[in-house]
Amino acid sequence: MEVIPVIDLKGGAVVHARKGERHLYRPIVTPLAPGSDPVDVVAGLLSLHPFATLYIADLDAIAGGDGNGDAIERLRQRFPRLRLWIDSGIGTRTRAQNWLARGLGDLVLGSETLADAATARALAEDPRVVLSLDFRGPALQGPADLLAGAAAWPRRVIAMTLDRVGSHAGPDLERLRAVKDLAGRREVFAAGGIRDAADLRALVQATIAGVLVATSLHDGRISSADLRAL
């Protein structure tokens, strides 16, 4: 199982995400970096473990603003071997194709910003696309028919529980099992609520392909030793 660290960008800084309440996010304070500059924070994460992939949520772009393109380009230049999964709030096929043509990384299509399931379906065969099924409470955020059939899903799918992000509530194993049942041979990644190494082991037992983690890396609940053991 792959562990993928997450950074949330807002106003050029890394912010601390909690329960999807983005208007309350503030610049991160972490023992892994001297401040909230994205390059410093990612360098700190890589000092903890040689992660292969980094997930970036561009919160300004997701909210419809200009986004954090400069910060993302700095990260690409500083860490050229790091694979980037980037959610920039892309909601239409045309915007997705234009974004992919820039070669910035792998595109995360968040269901909360998708215009319709047809957009995901049109891009399902592109190996650079990741679909994030974004849940708040019991409800999928975005086109409900995304759950009607996995034909609209690419080979990598994230089950994102927004109200567990940064909460130490534990992963939603029931939802992950339901998504896996629908996904068939697709890879399913967990996001939201990961607390510690015990949660990581539970996800391994559930045959989850990977997990997105942020808070537990910064507060030390998941250590370098835990990651090496995994």
Here the tokens at position 230 are 């995994």
| Three-state SS at 228 | helix
The half-sphere exposure of 180 on its side-chain side, counting CA atoms within 13 A, is 15
Q: How far apart are CA 154 and CA 6, in angstroms?
A: 21
- Pairing mode of beta strands 106-110, 156-161: unpaired
Provide the β-strand partners of residue 210. Answer: 2, 189
- pLDDT of amino acid 134: 95
What is the DSSP code (8-state) at residue 83? E
Considering only 51-60, 166-175, 188-197, which range has the smallest mean pLDDT? 166-175
Percent of the chain at pLDDT > 70 equals 96
Locus of tokens 């503030």: 26
230 or 13: which leads in pLDDT: 13
pTM over 0.85, yes/no? yes
**Residue 98 domain boundaries:** 2-229
Q: Are 42 and 75 in contact (CB under 8 A)?
A: yes
11-18 LR contacts (CB < 8 Å, sep 24+): 11/60, 11/68, 12/38, 12/68, 12/70, 12/71, 13/37, 13/38, 14/38, 14/41, 15/59, 16/166, 16/215, 17/57, 17/165, 17/166, 17/214, 17/215, 18/165, 18/166, 18/167, 18/215
62 pLDDT band, cuts 50/70/90, is very high
| Domain tally, the chain | 1
- Give the CATH number, domain containing residue 160: 3.20.20.70
The per-residue pLDDT for range 66-82, each reduced to its tens digit, is 899 999 999 999 999 99
Position 150 scores a pLDDT of 87
Q: Can you tell me whether residue 88 is helix, strand or coil? A: coil
